Structure formats: C-alpha cells, structure tokens
Structure 1
Amino acid sequence: MRVYYFSRQRLWRGFWLAVLSFSLLAWGYWYNQSLQALPAASLPIYQGSGREKEVALTVNVFWGEEYLPQMLSILEKERVKATFFIGGQWAEQFPALTRTIYKKGHEIGSHGYAHPHPDQLTVSDNLQDIRRAEEILVKITGERPRLFAPPYGEHGQPVLQAASEAGYRTILWSVDTVDWQRPEARVIIERVLGKVHNGAIILMHPTAPTVEALPVIIKELKSRGYRLVTVSQLLNHLESKP
C-alpha cells in the first residue's frame, strides 16, 4: 500500500510538472508572438553596436539621493556623461537635484512616475504613468526625455506599446550590477569588468558600494580602450551601422 501511495505521489508530481512546463512554453510562444506584432522601433534595446568600443553607464533613480552628489562628482572628475533614468515621483521630491544632474550635461531618461509593476498595467495605465513623469521632467529640465527604462525591467507588450505611443525608446541593459542588493564594491566591479563588451549598457543605482566601485570601473574601462558615452550616443551608432 505504501509503495502504491508513493508511486501515485510521483505520478501526480510528474503530471503537474508537465502542466507547468507546457504552460511556460505556451506563455513563451504567446509572448514572442505579441512582440512580433509590434513595430521594430517599439522593441527594447539591450545594447549598442558590437562594432564600436564604447559603453554607456545608466543609473535608475527612484531612491538613493544621498549618494547622487558623490556619483556626480566622480563622473565630473573623470569627464564621463551618464544616462540617468529618473522617476517622476522622485523628481517631484528632489527637483533641485534633478536639475543639477541635467545641468551637468548628463542625459535624462524617464523611469516612469510611480514605479509600478508595468507588466501588471494596461496600455492606457502605462501611458498615463509615462506621461505624468514626462510632464514633471519637462517642467524641471525644460527638455522632453526620449528614452524610457521600465521599472523592474518589465517589458511586456502593453509596456512596449505604451512607450512607443508616447514617443519613447525602451532601454534595458546587457550588464547588470545588481547593486540594489548592496553587495561589496568589489562584487560590483567584478560584475561589470567580467561581463563588459562593445556596446554594453551597464545598469547601476545610487548606493554606497556603487559610489565606491564607480571610479575603479571607469578607470579600468578607459584603460581597456572603451569610450564611455550616453545611451543616445550608443543608439546613434547602432542605427547608423551599415
């Protein structure tokens, strides 16, 4: 009787694993089909051209304001311009700091307004979140952002469609520091330098270990012959390739 019960357990476990596998395959097929229905310009950008020895540093900002002045100081000292994806709600709280980032010549992109899970929103709700952030960023900087980094990197069809309808390119990344977990600075350095490649988009956040790691990362990237540019500069080379 015990053997029979154990076998039945294994049978049910196998059945549910099969159901789960089929569901994942079905979801993957549906997701790929939904992306294929979108115009090419709506698809997310993960990196620039592999032909160019250049990389872009990006900083998603929805917290960590206490570390931004140090990051800006390091970037200024190293003569590097980065792309800051700023959340509208955060910019409302820190308009002076947002303006400082812009006036120092860094590129400002949108990180949406309220940092929701965009994959859980409709196209209309995503549009509303993006446009609300845009209104705030334009008011502070006087310039409309053209790049959008979706919160949590979520990029389902409603997110991409909304960003495209609002006139944005959706930007993701090819090198993730995972610095929001606040590992030691050496871990962040290893993650970047171990995975960097031509056209890399490097994702960072304003944290204490990121501040510590940043000058080391910049100096080593330069020593390897990389040019550090903004995301828009990466896209220029990507879109002008033969």
Structure 2
Amino acid sequence: MSVAKKVTSIVAMAMITFTMINYTSINTYINRLKYDTITVQKPAQSLEDQVKDEAKKRRKDPRDAVIDRVWKKTPGYNGVEVDIEKSLKNMKKDGMFVEKHLIYRQIPPKIHLKDLPPAPIYRGHPDKQMVSFAINVAWGEEYLPEMLSILKKHHVHATFFFEGRWVKKHPDLAKMISKAGHEAGNHSYSHPNMAILSTSKTNEEIVKTNEVIEAVVGHTPKLFAPPSGSFNEHTVQEAHKLGMLTTLWTVDTVDWKKPMPGELIDRVMNKIHPGAIILMHPTQSSAASLDTLVKEIEARKFKIGTVSNLLSETRVLSSDTK
C-alpha cells in the first residue's frame, strides 16, 4: 500500500472515530435533558403574597337569618376574613409572616333577625359555639343567692326572665341580678296560659311586666319567654309589635321535678349543642347542679352567655379562626 493511501485511510478512520464520539456525547446530553430533573428555584414569596394566600384559606362566609321549618326564627351568623392591610402592618415590624399576628374582621350577613316576619325563636345559630341559661323566675327566690354566687365565680352571665308580680315583691333581688351583669327578660305579669289569652290581654301581660322591670332595673326587656312555653300566634305578634322576640328553649333541665344533681347534669349534657338555650328555674336541683354544669359545658369548649348575646350575629372567634 502506498504512503498516500495509508495517510488517507488513517484520516478517514480518525474522522469516523471523531464523528462517533461526537454523536455519543450529543445523544447522552439529549437523554439527560429528557430524563434528568432540573431544579428551578422559585423566588421567595413576598410577605404580602403570604398574607393574601392565608386570607383565601381562612375566609368563612356569613350566614343569613332564616325561618327554619322546624326551629322557626334562626339568627344569622357573621362570617370572618383576614384584614390584609392590618395584618401586613402588624407583621412588618418582624419582617416575616407570623400566624398569630393575623388580624381578623367579621362580615355581617345580608338578612338579619329584624328582617324576618314574626316567629318564635328556640336557639341561636347552630354554628355558634355558645349556649345560654334562660332562668325563669316566678318563685324560688331562696335559691337565687347561691346560683348568683356560682355564676359570679365562673364569670358567667345568664338571662333571667322575670314574672312582673315577682319583681314587684322582690325589687331588691331583681336589682341585684341586673347589677351583676345578667340580662332581664319578660316572663309575663301573672304567669297565665298565653295560648288562650285575647290579643288585648296578651298585650297587657307583656306591657305591664316591661313597665315594672324598667322601673326597677332601668331598662326594658327585649325578650319574652311565655310561661310553660305556651303561646299562640297572638303572643308572637304582640311581642313583635313591642320590638320583642318570643324565646323558648332546646334543652330543658326539668328542674321543677326536683331531679338529683347527677340526673339534671346528664340530661343537659346529653342534649347540649351549639346555640342551645337551656331552661332553668331557681330550684334546689339547679342550685346544686350549676357549678358542675358550668364546668362540664366549658370543658366541651362552649362559651356561656346571655340569650341576647347568643342570638347576636357576633362570631365566636376563639376556635373559628384557627
């Protein structure tokens, strides 16, 4: 073989080798692009974007007041949302997102109790983690000091529905109850069966009691609790005309039957629910049960407040915003 042919052969072999090496390298690179995961670092999220994201997650829409098929008038319940502007201002001093520094604001519903036609009311909103003691007072004044002492110890306020005659006989007790921060409600004047009264007599029973209570405690009740839960359409209409709600209950202690404390407590705790109105009277059974009852209700994470507070649209925020 001549020298020229040898040189040509060597050059050809070199070019083939170079091409194969180059092809392999390109092929390997392409395969790596296909199958390798390329990590792209996301830019750090701004504090404002973090707060806005949390605001979307935490918003809860308000609920309108309605006439329920079973429970009749049901109050509305405020929604809740993060106040982005105030939350950002609260966090800027730290320069970072801090959950506990979120600021919330409540969103009122569009339809309120006052917008609904006359109807009785049995409970607060079923999403509201609160209950109320509705204590009807027409007798049993000897048990009131003990009950008031227990409520004071636990910083709990109740609604006392006063019979008008009782307030006239015991004005000092009525004043003491009101000064302790409890709510005064109307329980008729003479404890009649409201279901059989005429419209004029119904009006008289409610108005006369309002006048007595206003004269003694200084304000006019906004809630009317018919004796024994007995009422008719006239009752509800007359109360409504006077700017009052006809209120009943969903949990009955049946304390007038003199149950043992354990029985009364079990009866209540087996039926307790968000928005419950718990009917009581000043009796030995209720006085003996009240301390434990308050502890057990609060252990279930319920707040205890007046009936008016229960029926308000104000949201209980302690657990709702977590």
TM bucket (normalised to shorter chain) is 0.7 to 0.9
**Structure 1 residue 155: Cα displacement:** 2.2
Q: Indicate conservation of the 8 Å contact 1:175/1:203, yes or no.
A: yes
Q: Deviations over 1:101-157 (max 9, x none)?
A: 000000100001000001110111000010010110000011011000001101211
Q: Deviations over 1:189-219 (max 9, x none)?
A: 0111000000000000000011111111100
Q: Distance in 2 between matches of 1:42 and 1:195?
A: 27
Which ranges in structure 1 are unaligned for 5 or more consecutive residues? 1-31
Counterpart residue number, 1:78: 154
Q: Indicate conservation of the 8 Å contact 1:41/1:169, yes or no.
A: no
Counterpart residue number, 2:243: 167
Q: Note the aligned Cα RMSD (angstroms).
A: 1.9
**Structure 1 residue 40: Cα displacement:** 3.5
Residue correspondence of structure 1 range 52-131 to structure 2 within 5 A: 52-131=128-207
Q: Distance in 1 between matches of 2:193 and 2:116?
A: 23
Higher RCO (C-alpha 8 Å, min separation 6): 1
Which residue identity is paired with 2:171? Answer: P
Q: Distance in 1 between matches of 2:218 and 2:150?
A: 25
Q: Distance in 2 between matches of 1:183 and 1:123?
A: 37
Greater Rg by CA? 2
Give the number of the structure whose residues are more often helix, by fraction.
Answer: 1
Residue correspondence of structure 1 range 206-221 to structure 2 within 5 A: 206-221=282-297
TM-score (norm 2): 0.61
Q: Distance in 2 between matches of 1:76 and 1:238?
A: 23
TM-score (norm 1): 0.81
Which residue identity is paired with 1:151? Answer: P
Q: Does 1:186 align with 2:253?
A: no
Q: Deviations over 1:164-208 (max 9, x none)?
A: 122210110000111111111111101110000000000000000
Q: Indicate conservation of the 8 Å contact 2:120/2:248, yes or no.
A: yes
Counterpart residue number, 2:120: 44
Aligned to 2:312, what secondary structure does the other structure show? helix
Q: Distance in 1 between matches of 2:259 and 2:159?
A: 22
Counterpart residue number, 1:177: 253
- State which of 275, 284, 294 in structure 2 corresponds to 1:199: 275
Q: Deviations over 1:210-235 (max 9, x none)?
A: 11111111000111100001111111
Which residue identity is paired with 1:120? Answer: I
Give the number of aligned pairs. 205
Compared CA separation, residues 153 and 123, structure 1 to 2 (3 A): same
Compared CA separation, residues 41 and 85, structure 1 to 2 (3 A): farther
Q: Indicate conservation of the 8 Å contact 1:44/1:155, yes or no.
A: no
Aligned to 2:313, what secondary structure does the other structure show? helix
Q: Does 1:132 align with 2:204?
A: no
Q: Does 1:145 align with 2:211?
A: no
Counterpart residue number, 1:4: none
Which residue identity is paired with 2:184? Answer: I
Q: Deviations over 1:78-108 (max 9, x none)?
A: 1000000000000000000000000000010
Q: Indicate conservation of the 8 Å contact 2:161/2:224, yes or no.
A: yes
Which residue identity is paired with 1:148? Answer: F
**Structure 1 residue 41: Cα displacement:** 4.1
Aligned to 2:173, what secondary structure does the other structure show? helix
Counterpart residue number, 1:17: none
